[in-house]
Amino acid sequence: MPKAQETASKVSHVVLLVGIIVMPVSGLILALYSGIPSDVFGLFTIPAVGKVDGIAGTTRIVHKIAAYVVTITLGLHIAAALKHHLIDRDRTLVRMISG
């Protein structure tokens, strides 16, 4: 695989891994500082801190940007996997599925 593809693969994995942390954390902070209590899987509720527009506004922006970045990266990741399988005809997708 060309060096650029290897680099793109590693960057996309990092972006997706960071995204699975940033998205829920920013969403939780956004909810709590928007005055909305957060229910955690029906087990318990995290009470709202109160309305703090500065924090809520900042985390809303972070959450929105992270959502776009993760969605675009996921789409590119899927496209790359299909390209490897259908065009390059290599075993990359098979390795991804089988582990």
- Structural domain for 26, as ranges: 3-98
Q: Which pLDDT score is estimated for 2? A: 87
- CA–CA separation, 15 and 74 (whole Å): 9
- Domain count for the chain: 1
Q: CA nearest 33: which of 46, 50, 54? A: 50
Could you say which DSSP state residue 35 is in?
T
Residue 46 to residues 43, 50, 52, 75, Cα–Cα distance (Å): 10, 12, 16, 33
Q: Which pLDDT score is estimated for 91? A: 85
Is the Cα torsion angle 3, 85, 87, 16 positive or negative in sign? negative
Q: What is the pTM of this model?
A: 0.81
| pLDDT average, residue stretch 39-58 | 94
- Per-chain mean pLDDT for the chain: 93
Amino acid 70 reads V
1, pLDDT greater than 90: no
